[in-house]
Chain A
């Protein structure tokens, strides 16, 4: 079946860029998502990209999609302590209402 994989942890220094990576297996994916989960809270949509795009930028966030390699990344520029959270990658096939979720990457900010 479809699968989405992410590293479980990423540690960066405050002010540096964070790059969170995700790989997926479903070649029929149409939308790919990044959700953020802060401690004790539910998930919140951070950004998403349609599969016919290879890049999307929104302020400090840059999403890169390599559809050939089925690789998605989220870059957070000038990482701040408020960016500490778990970041989930998810993919969706056009014909399916379900999202396939990765296990989440916990972003740890070092002072």
Chain B
């Protein structure tokens, strides 16, 4: 079946512009995660959605970052007034449950964001 998809795969933007990154999780997966991957760094957690519960936004680095998940499925990560330090690969993952026991996360291919 279809895995997690993300679009666009690459995005080049100018400093100060807003960008929207999209994630389509695996159908039926209730949990959705956004991560940021910078060169030589581990995965930086950004935000977590679980069903209809309020999202865990504790990883968002500034108020320029926001995310939505509509209808418990597709999610959009928005970065306003982009800065050069926002350049990274943004990864989305989904999982079939919320945690507790073993909880495999299924990752999309990522969106590579370059801010000039």
Contact = CB atoms under 8 A, between A and B. Distances in A.
Given A98-B48, A101-B43, 8 more contacts: A8-B40, A35-B107, A41-B109, A43-B91, A94-B100, A95-B99, A97-B99, A101-B42
Contact of A97 (B42, B103, B104, B109): B103
Nearest to A97: B99
Contacts of A41: 109-110
Interface residues of B, number: 24
Nearest to A94: B100
Contacts of B4: 42
A45 interface: yes
Interface in A34-49: 35, 40-45, 48
B50 A97 contact: yes
A106 to B, nearest CB: 9
Interface string B101-112: 111111111100
Contact of B107 (A4, A42, A102, A103): A42
Given A97-B48, A104-B42, A44 B107 contact: yes
A92 B33 CA distance: 15
